[in-house]
Amino acid sequence: PKVRVQRMDMDTTSSKNSHWKILNDFKKGKFDILLGTQMIAKGLDFENVTLVGIISADTGLYLPDFRASERTFQLISQVAGRAGRRKIPGEVVVQSFAPSNLPIQGIGEEEQEKFYKQIMKERKLQSYPPFGKLIVFESSSESRESAMNGAKLIHSVLKRISNGTKLLGPAPAVIEKLRKRYRWRVMILLSRTGNKRLQEVKLTLRSMMKEIRKKMQRDLRLSVDVDPVNML
């Protein structure tokens, strides 16, 4: 009960310089535990930190994103690196519902190599980047029906592309409604079959984009993201 705890998140760092004040107070030992979100995962160097705890470390693994395991592995590695940064040994405690998962297993050099090989094997099998191109077409509207119909239109045009491509969707985005607009998506997975084939597909997509824009309703917005960093 005597342990002094400080939160660090969007709520506690909304005012000017509050972010740095919390970090300086922690460095000076004004509180014992810093409880925060991902913003405390990297870039911090405190010699007196000897224990790091990661709660529900595997939550991100279940997101429908081919980079989910990579991000989880990076986050655990970054957070774990906050402990034992000087002469005093550090300890890392990880809470997980799937401790056998490779991203949860460890952060040593041997585990990093194993994780890298496994991820590359999986991506090559599915033609995900860097072994292929992932192109996401998004239709958005204030009306859910309009956004869905826009995605169906995109799908009907894009399905003409064949040979080395896989068409996914239409389906709602993981976060379907964002900033008062509904979002539906169609995705193309294009295997790397040589520069000539890539150029052919690019030219085809450009002409199809013109056709799609002509047919779309005025309230619809169309966006295209190649090898997206965020799939949400």
pLDDT in tens, 161-212: 766 678 888 999 999 999 999 999 999 888 766 566 667 777 777 777 777 7
**pLDDT tens readout for residues 135-164:** 899 999 999 998 998 899 888 888 877 666
Shared domain check, 122 and 137: no
What was the pLDDT predicted at 76? Answer: 81
Q: Exposure of 187 by Cβ count < 10 A (0-12 exposed, 13-18 middle, 19+ buried)? A: buried
Shared domain check, 89 and 48: yes
Query: What whole-number distance in Å separates Cα of residue 127 and Cα of residue 165?
Result: 9
Q: Domain range spanning residue 45? A: 41-126
Boundary of a domain, candidates 126, 141, 172:
126
pLDDT over 70 percentage in the chain? 87
- For 5-30, letters b (16+ CB in 10 Å) and e give ebebeeeebeeeeeeeebbeebeeee
Q: Which two tokens stand for residue 173?
A: 């985005």
Q: Considering just the CA atoms, what is the radius of gyration of the chain in Å?
A: 23
Q: Provide the number of structural domains found in the chain.
A: 2
Strands (E), the chain: 5-8, 33-36, 51-54, 91-94, 132-141, 165-178, 181-191, 221-226
Q: What pTM value is reported for the model? A: 0.72
**pLDDT tens readout for residues 65-90:** 888 888 888 888 777 766 666 677 77
Among 8-22, 69-83, 171-185, 215-229, which is the least confidently predicted range? 69-83
Shared domain check, 101 and 77: yes
Do residues 144 and 182 lie in contact, with contact meaning Cβ atoms separated by under 8 Å?
Answer: yes
